[in-house]
Amino acid sequence: MGAHRQSPSPSAPDAEADAARDALVREIVARGGLTDPAWRAAFAEVPRHLFVPFFYVHGIGGYERLGAEDADPGRRSRWLHGVYADGALATWLKDGELVSSSSQPSLMALMLDALDVRDGHTVLEIGTGPGYNAALLAHRLGAPAVTSVDLDPEITESARGHLAAAGYHPTVITGDGALGCPERAPYDRIIATCTLPSVPRSWPEQCRPGALILAPLATGLVLLEVRATAHGPRAEGHFLHTPAYFVPLRGALPLSDGLPHLGGLPRRVAGDDLFRFLLTLTAGTLDPHEALSLWEREGRPQRERYGITVGQGRQWAWLDDPQGPYTWPLASGR
């Protein structure tokens, strides 16, 4: 199925949309999210339905498209309540492949909270998608502070339309997110909304000392702090506790072809989310049986015990200590 151009649509009744948005915010708050009043206000006031005028769900024989323009009231209601459900939405397909989505709102809230933005900060977002996350950032920091990059000109054009319809005007650039956006640097924060095989070295280079980089990697979210050294910037930090699954970053080095062969491993561990995280993080460098021995010996470590270090032209993953006995090289990003 080819891509469809997204156009902002105000056709959802305002009262119904407002009620659905309020319910979503209450749900996220009830789960312990949106503790910062500024982010709670952003989620309460930014109309997600203007950014997702349609989305795709799996149907019989392929994807089914639900949208605000549907003539059937029942399908329109499914669209609106889907927009304000706490779930990720497939927003853009090319040749039957998902290339853009709107992330799960509660996960977006967690990521924005972890980003720890302050008044006056500038933020680079990698992966514009429909523009909703850029709008939340613009609501919190002001549009001039926000730069968003996406590779596909159709996606960025569509996002600009959504943002304008909602009253937000951050800078949206069509380009390779793996290269960052040097003309708008330096940044205090970088947030990626697409899965990476490694951290592009251009990102720390475009950051101020003390900046934070938050990015999905190996089914997790890694939060790096950038520090200036005599050999150039160094970015280092731990993974957050939560799992995270995103559309891959296009333009970066290719992702692994998947997990290594798991034959011979006990079924109970082969399907364990934390073990599979370790396998993904160390793909190509650690035999699955070795990984299992390490994982059990170290007490089946949670994601937050792992980390990433980027600096001096190389990067590596580690358990507990970047200079400790358990380290694994990652391919250096462009």
Categorise residue 111: left if φ over 0, alpha if ψ from -120 to 50, beta otherwise: alpha
267 or 142, higher pLDDT: 142
Calculate the average pLDDT of the chain. 89
Task: Note the pLDDT of residue 11.
Answer: 47
Q: What angle do CA 321, 276, 87 make, to 5 degrees?
A: 105
Q: What is the pLDDT of residue 225?
A: 98
Q: How many Cβ atoms sit within 10 Å of the Cβ of residue 195? A: 21
Band (pLDDT 50/70/90 cuts) for residue 95 is: confident
CA distance 86 to 105: 6
Q: Which of 9, 77, 100, 101 is catalytic?
A: 100
SS3 for 143?
helix
111: tokens are: 């990521």
Look up residue 37 and give its two tokens: 């009043």
Note if the pTM is more than 0.95: no
Residue 9 has pLDDT above 60, yes or no: no
d(CA 81, CA 135): 20
Confidence band, pLDDT 50/70/90 cuts, at residue 5: very low
Q: What is the mean pLDDT of residues 61-83?
A: 90
Is 100 noted as a catalytic residue in this protein? yes
- On the question of pLDDT at 261 being above 60, the answer is no
Q: How much of the chain, in percent, has pLDDT values that exceed 70? A: 90
What is the predicted pLDDT for the residue at 92? 83
Residue spans of the domains in the chain: they are 267-330
Residue 246: pLDDT band (50, 70, 90) is confident
Q: What tens digit of pLDDT does each residue of 316-333 get?
A: 999 999 999 999 998 765
pLDDT of residue 260 exceeding 60, the answer is no
Q: Compute φ and ψ for 2, nearest 5 degrees.
A: -80, 170
pLDDT for res 250: 57
pLDDT score, position 265: 76
Q: How many CA within 13 A on the CB side of residue 213?
A: 32
- Calculate mean pLDDT across residues 133-162: 97
In the prediction, which pLDDT does 284 show? 80
Lowest average pLDDT, out of 8-17, 154-163, 181-190, goes to 8-17
Which residues have C-beta within 8 Å of that of residue 211, sequence separation ≥ 6?
A: 186, 187, 188, 189, 190, 225, 226
Q: Chain-centre distance of CA 86, in angstroms?
A: 15
